[in-house]
Structure 1
Amino acid sequence: MTHPPHSREWYARLARELGGYCHPWTRVLDGPDPELTFDALLLEHLRPDTRVLEAGCGHGPDAARFGPACGRWVAYDWVPELLAQARVNAPQAEFHLWDGRGQVPPELRGPFDLIVSRRGPTSVIRHLPAIAAPDARFLYVGPRLDVPQVPERLSAVGWAILGEWRASVRAWAPTWADWQTRGDFMGEPATREDWTAHAGPRGRPYREERYVVLAGRG
């Protein structure tokens, strides 16, 4: 039985089969990775004493890559299999099981100077007043050019958008299986008719899109 995309069981299968939370399709980009803006902003806000909370950490790639540059890196996810991998990949960080609902667990209350979410749950936004230090920043990257719930939720908790960036790069799904897998992942079911009409020698072209937001208290 196939589990619905983005269900807990589906993420657990990614952890087992791909070794973490990774795009389960092959893609080829015609330009720079559209998430480089997020990476640059994250590095810009890290100091030796920065306290970071990461929402939806997956298997811990950001904790492993950026954690050593800050004072404390704390992260949570709702998939135990991914957290187990994260603890191996980034042993210097702290990882906790949480789905972002209800009250914030004591170990995640901070305060934190930087709260980050790379395609992770936007539900962390409603908790910003409880976990953020006075001059904290929130950094987010989402998988489309617009993620309306981000500015809406920031406004609801009294946080202001300090910067917005949108990046779009042409990409290719080399095979029908890759295109079908991407469609399932993005909630855009693929059809054979579409593949036949638009695919060429390199596969099916599409756009890899990212929406990046940097926010602070209003």
Structure 2
Amino acid sequence: MNAPHSRAWYAQLARGLGGYRHAWARVLDGPDPELTFDALLAERLGPDVRVLEAGCGHGPDAARFGSGAARWAAFDAVPELVAQVRVNAPHADVHEWNAKGEVPEPLLGPFDLIVSRRGPTSVILRLPELAAPGAEFLYVGPRLDVPQVPARLSAVGWEVRGEWRVSVRARVPSRADWATRCEWTNEPERVPEWDAHARADGLPYREERYVVLASKRS
């Protein structure tokens, strides 16, 4: 078994699930908490907007939103996922990179919008190299607070213009699904919660997201 969130683990997901997909079943009692990110992204696209996606996974956002931009460039650190993006979103300009070290020349931009759906927050430290004047950064993270996001934005002279913390009631239908989710979120200590709190229809929990919109400090 590969360590969760290691490169080998992501490669295993790509091969086994056909991409960066959640490997457990869940039932939401309300709207998907990432719809806020979707709406903010969609309203910023246009025929002159150059987009860079950090941590693109198998390319669902490139496939869904890419046609609404002048250019959709993307990167991921996992070669298996990069290969899948090139199939799923052939219009996207996709490269292997981990947001560290030298920026690949095709990703130098500049870009008007840099986005990250649960991708690497290290891309924030590269915004001065990647962003066009007046550019924006849009991020959604997997919990209500991701402290390194505002900290890193401040470190490069960017400021948070909007924050949204979204929490939706949800449940997982089986103990195996709950154990998989705990592995995914690096919370193995929470597996016994199933035995203590599960109901006939599964274990209730909160599906949480933290959405940030930022721009360079004026």
TM-score (norm 1): 0.98
> Hey, what does 1:4 align to over in structure 2?
3
**Structure 1, unaligned stretches of length 5 or more?**
none
In 2: Cα distance, 1:62 partner to 1:164 partner: 21
Contact 2:53–2:73 (Cα < 8 Å) also in 1: yes
> Hey, what does 2:16 align to over in structure 1?
17
Instruction: Give 1:102 shift.
Output: 1.2
Q: Equivalences for 1:92-171 in 2 at 5 Å?
A: 92-171=91-170
**Structure 2, unaligned stretches of length 5 or more?**
none
1:34 aligns with 2:33: yes
SS in 2 for 1:48: strand
* % identical equivalent positions: 69
Instruction: Give 1:190 shift.
Output: 4.8
Contact 1:56–1:76 (Cα < 8 Å) also in 2: yes
Instruction: Give 1:103 shift.
Output: 2.2
1:173 aligns with 2:172: yes
| Count, aligned residues | 217
Query: Relative to structure 1, is the Cα distance of residues 174 and 217 closer, same or farther in structure 2, using a 3 angstrom cutoff?
Result: same
> Hey, what does 1:54 align to over in structure 2?
53
TM-score (norm 2): 0.98
SS in 2 for 1:72: strand
Which runs of 4 or more aligned residues in structure 1 lie more than 6 Å from their structure 2 counterparts after TM superposition?
A: none
Contact 1:115–1:139 (Cα < 8 Å) also in 2: yes
In 2: Cα distance, 1:107 partner to 1:28 partner: 40
Which is further off, 186-195 or 43-52? Answer: 186-195
In 1: Cα distance, 2:157 partner to 2:132 partner: 14
RMSD value, Cα: 0.9
> Over residues 46-86 of structure 1, what are the superposed CA-to-partner deviations in whole Å (9 max), with x where a residue is unaligned?
01111000000000000000000110000000001111111
